[in-house]
């Protein structure tokens, strides 16, 4: 039982953490709430699936999927420019982009008859037992890849010159401009990195899930909960929140199976309570407004 919670919670926690990291990165530099973010994750999984169905080798399919997804996100980013000043319009626009991606997938699915579009083939087959729980090699691979990307992202942001430039931009745009950081270029690269991270997650994790075009909405809510629970813009906060939420979810599903369908409601309820006590999340900067 607890081993089950641990195994599921750990993987979901890692995925949430990765998506939250990308989402936070996007928010901290562009200062926009991009609701289409999990849709990129979904579309990457589907492009990967489509490419493998066309007969491409896994690695090539993965590469094509990631590159296509990033390219798509950069094009969509252009659309946001005219409404940058109005957060509500940005939200509606990114939501619309997400729905358009979802409906495009459904459209393709419907027009190609006779192909089953839900189960993504594993990169490697087989399984083993850990702590008495059956664990597939795909699960271990996914976990490993997600952990590596997380670590790489962390290293990149704290250790490299460019990563520091990004963080400088997120702290203060005007000052960053003064010290010679090209804000536009940084924004584009950050979008690329953030969406790339989501795409990689989509490719390596998708074999563990049943794919549905609408699932990005469900993940979006969890992702928003994670990011805001942890404190918008705090990388450390969202990492911790990701695991808390993933383990709560897994705990509810395994310990209280009769109310398993309530798991997102329980997460939401806890989040509302936390936000009421700490209005800027667990680790959000508690600065006084001026």
- Cα 205 from Cα 182, distance rounded (Å): 34
Buried b / exposed e along 214-225 (16+ C-beta atoms within 10 A)? ebbbebbebbbb
Q: Is 158 in the site for other proteins (CB under 8 A)?
A: no
Tokens representing 186 are: 């940084």
Closer residue to other proteins, CB minimum distance, 89 or 171: 89
Q: Is 57 in the site for other proteins (CB under 8 A)?
A: no
Q: Is 92 in the site for other proteins (CB under 8 A)?
A: yes
Longest Cα–Cα distance in the chain: 61
Distance in Å, CB of 191 to other proteins, minimum: 18
- Cα 199 from Cα 62, distance rounded (Å): 9
Tell me, residue by residue from 209 to 228, as one string, x for binding to other proteins by CB under 8 A and - for no binding: --------x---x--xx--x
Closer residue to other proteins, CB minimum distance, 82 or 177: 82
Q: Is 100 in the site for other proteins (CB under 8 A)?
A: yes
Closer residue to other proteins, CB minimum distance, 210 or 287: 287
Q: Is 108 in the site for other proteins (CB under 8 A)?
A: no
Q: Is 88 in the site for other proteins (CB under 8 A)?
A: yes
Tokens representing 87 are: 């957060």
Closer residue to other proteins, CB minimum distance, 125 or 290: 290
- Segment interacting with other proteins (CB under 8 A) among 65-73, 152-160, 202-210, 261-269: 261-269
Tokens representing 52 are: 């493998």
Closer residue to other proteins, CB minimum distance, 20 or 149: 20
Q: Is 271 in the site for other proteins (CB under 8 A)?
A: yes
Tokens representing 120 are: 């993504």
Please report, as ranges, the residues that interact with other proteins according to CB under 8 A: 33, 79, 82-83, 86-89, 91-93, 95-97, 99-100, 103-104, 106-107, 110, 217, 221, 224-225, 228, 232, 259, 261-262, 264-266, 268-269, 271-272, 275-276, 279-281, 288-290
């Amino acid at each position: 039982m607890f081993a089950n919670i641990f195994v599921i919670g750990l993987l979901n926690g890692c995925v949430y953490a990765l998506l939250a990291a990308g989402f936070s990165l996007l928010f901290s530099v562009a200062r926009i709430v991009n609701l289409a973010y999990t849709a990129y994750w979904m579309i990457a999984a589907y492009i990967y699936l489509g490419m493998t169905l066309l007969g491409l080798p896994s690695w090539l399919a993965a590469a094509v999927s990631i590159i296509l997804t990033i390219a798509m996100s950069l094009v969509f980013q252009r659309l946001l420019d005219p409404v940058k000043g109005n957060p509500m319009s940005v939200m509606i626009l990114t939501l619309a982009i997400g729905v358009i991606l979802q409906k495009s997938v459904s459209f393709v699915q419907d027009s190609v008859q006779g192909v089953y579009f839900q189960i993504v083939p594993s990169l490697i087959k087989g399984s083993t037992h850990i702590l008495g729980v059956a664990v597939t090699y795909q699960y271990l691979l996914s976990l490993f890849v997600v952990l590596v990307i997380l670590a790489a992202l962390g290293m990149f942001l704290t250790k490299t010159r460019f990563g520091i430039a990004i963080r400088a931009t997120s702290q203060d745009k005007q000052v960053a401009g003064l010290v010679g950081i090209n804000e536009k270029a940084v924004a584009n690269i950050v979008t690329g990195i953030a969406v790339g991270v989501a795409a990689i997650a989509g490719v390596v994790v998708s074999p563990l899930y049943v794919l549905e075009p609408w699932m990005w909405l469900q993940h979006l809510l969890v992702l928003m909960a994670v990011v805001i629970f942890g404190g918008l813009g705090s990388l450390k906060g969202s990492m911790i929140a990701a695991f808390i939420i993933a383990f709560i979810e897994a705990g509810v599903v395994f310990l209280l199976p009769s109310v398993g369908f309530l798991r997102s409601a329980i997460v939401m309820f806890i989040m509302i309570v936390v936000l009421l006590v700490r209005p800027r999340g667990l680790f959000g900067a508690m600065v006084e407004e001026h």
